[in-house]
């Protein structure tokens, strides 16, 4: 199956009261683990690529070619979208050209009129090519790959302006942040989420910063219109932990334990287990 846009899968998720996971990828192991787990759980999936990760993997063309070939070679039949995460204006055009099936344009750091103008232009371009587009209002807090957000809570009226441009999915800050939440975090602002939902209507909403949000808050967010949830840091943490355990146990020194295919296997298995846990929590299993 070739890549699909994220529009239909998130619209279905909104109607069915579940959420599709966006799992950010960093390399071949990450991609393989996420794709195989989505297939195993019969779940649609979104592979997120930050600009930093795109650069790390040598460029968007490499990522696009790898993902398309891997879907084919692994016989993946569930819907897969390849999505630019927190894209700049230039990055969005590059990913469109490289064959991504979905883009996020994060214009949240621009004044709202400029965010609206740039988003509008990119909506037209993306839709001309059958590519889905996510926009953002009210910056997500914390830092992801050098993109630092102020953690503002989105203004529902501004959300409506951006939603009405025809974006397929809308990210709105509701107290969520990238990375691990600080101990004094006050939780998601469900009052704001409910207002946004009321203002924008049937538009699939995106919850960034999925790492560390308690399960009950995830479920409540889904019940209030969240249809896409992004997870990045949590997969990195379990990958690092599993790799550390392997090395600390001296397994890389036993036999051919230093072989990268062995060395990276526990981390890859840990990603698979985490992705499966999230898919079951989000309820997207058996929805492909």
Positions annotated as catalytic residues are: 85
136 scored as a contact of ligand 13P (CB under 6 A): no
**Are the C-beta atoms of 88 and 50 separated by less than 8 Å?**
no
178 scored as a contact of ligand 13P (CB under 6 A): yes
209 scored as a contact of ligand 13P (CB under 6 A): yes
Range in contact with ligand 13P (rule: CB under 6 A) among 2-10, 126-134, 232-240, 262-270? 232-240
Among 21, 44, 204, 210, binds ligand 13P (CB under 6 A): 210
Q: Whose Cβ is closer to ligand 13P: residue 229's or residue 268's?
A: 229
**Are the C-beta atoms of 6 and 81 separated by less than 8 Å?**
yes
23-42 binders of ligand 13P (CB under 6 A): 24
173 scored as a contact of ligand 13P (CB under 6 A): no
Range in contact with ligand 13P (rule: CB under 6 A) among 67-75, 125-133, 231-239, 247-255? 231-239
- CA torsion sign for 19, 24, 30, 32 is positive
Task: Give the gyration radius of the chain's Cα atoms.
Answer: 18
230 scored as a contact of ligand 13P (CB under 6 A): yes
Alpha helices in the chain (DSSP H): 7-16, 28-40, 51-56, 60-74, 89-98, 112-128, 156-163, 190-200, 215-223, 233-248, 260-263, 265-282
Q: Whose Cβ is closer to ligand 13P: residue 195's or residue 208's?
A: 208
Nearest distance, CB of residue 91 and ligand 13P, angstroms: 13
**CB neighbours of residue 6 within 10 Å:** 33
211 scored as a contact of ligand 13P (CB under 6 A): yes
107 scored as a contact of ligand 13P (CB under 6 A): no
Separation CA 239–CA 251 (nearest Å): 16
Residue (of 148, 160, 56) closest to 108 by Cα position:
148
Range in contact with ligand 13P (rule: CB under 6 A) among 128-136, 192-200, 203-211, 243-251? 203-211
278 scored as a contact of ligand 13P (CB under 6 A): no
**Quick check: helix, strand or coil at residue 103?**
strand
Q: Whose Cβ is closer to ligand 13P: residue 144's or residue 158's?
A: 144
Nearest distance, CB of residue 22 and ligand 13P, angstroms: 7
Range in contact with ligand 13P (rule: CB under 6 A) among 118-126, 224-232, 251-259, 278-286? 224-232
Nearest distance, CB of residue 198 and ligand 13P, angstroms: 24
Among 51, 134, 136, 234, binds ligand 13P (CB under 6 A): 234
In sequence order, what are the residues at sequence separation of 6 or more whose Cβ sits closer than 8 angstroms to the Cβ of residue 205? 169, 170, 171, 172, 193, 196, 197, 224, 225, 226, 227, 228
95 scored as a contact of ligand 13P (CB under 6 A): no
In sequence order, what are the residues at sequence separation of 6 or more whose Cβ sits closer than 8 angstroms to the Cβ of residue 113? none
CA dist 162 to 23, 157, 240, 255, Å? 24, 9, 38, 57
Q: Whose Cβ is closer to ligand 13P: residue 71's or residue 218's?
A: 218
> What are 136's strand-pairing partners?
171
- Going by the DSSP 8-state scheme, the letter that residue 160 receives in this structure is H
Binding site for ligand 13P (CB under 6 A): 24, 48, 85-86, 144, 178-179, 208-211, 230-234
């Amino acid at each position: 199956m070739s890549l699909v846009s994220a529009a239909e899968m998130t619209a279905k998720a909104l109607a069915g009261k579940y959420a599709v996971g966006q799992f950010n990828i960093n390399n071949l192991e990450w991609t393989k683990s996420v794709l195989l787990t989505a297939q195993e759980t019969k779940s649609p999936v979104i592979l997120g690529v930050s600009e930093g990760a795109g650069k790390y993997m040598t460029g968007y063309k490499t990522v696009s070619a790898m993902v398309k070939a891997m879907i084919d070679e692994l016989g993946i039949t569930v819907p897969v979208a390849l999505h630019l995460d927190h894209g700049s204006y230039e990055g969005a055009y590059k990913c469109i050209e490289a064959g991504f099936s979905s883009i996020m344009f994060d214009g949240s750091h621009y004044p709202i009129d400029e965010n609206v103008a740039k988003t509008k232009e990119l909506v037209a371009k993306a839709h001309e090519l059958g590519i889905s587009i996510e926009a953002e209002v009210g910056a997500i807090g914390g830092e992801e790959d050098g993109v630092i957000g102020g953690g503002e809570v989105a203004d529902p009226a501004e959300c409506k302006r951006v939603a009405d441009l025809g974006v397929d999915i809308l990210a709105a800050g509701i107290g969520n942040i990238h990375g691990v939440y600080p101990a004094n975090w006050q939780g998601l602002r469900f009052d704001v989420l409910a207002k946004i939902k009321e203002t924008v209507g049937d538009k699939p909403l995106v919850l960034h910063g999925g790492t560390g949000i308690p399960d009950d808050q995830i479920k409540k967010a889904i019940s209030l219109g969240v249809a896409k949830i992004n997870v990045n840091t949590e997969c990195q943490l379990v990958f690092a932990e599993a790799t550390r355990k392997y090395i600390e146990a001296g397994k890389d020194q036993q036999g051919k334990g230093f072989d990268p295919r062995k060395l990276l296997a526990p981390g890859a298995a840990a990603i698979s287990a985490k992705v499966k846990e999230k898919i079951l929590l989000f309820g997207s299993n058996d929805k492909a």
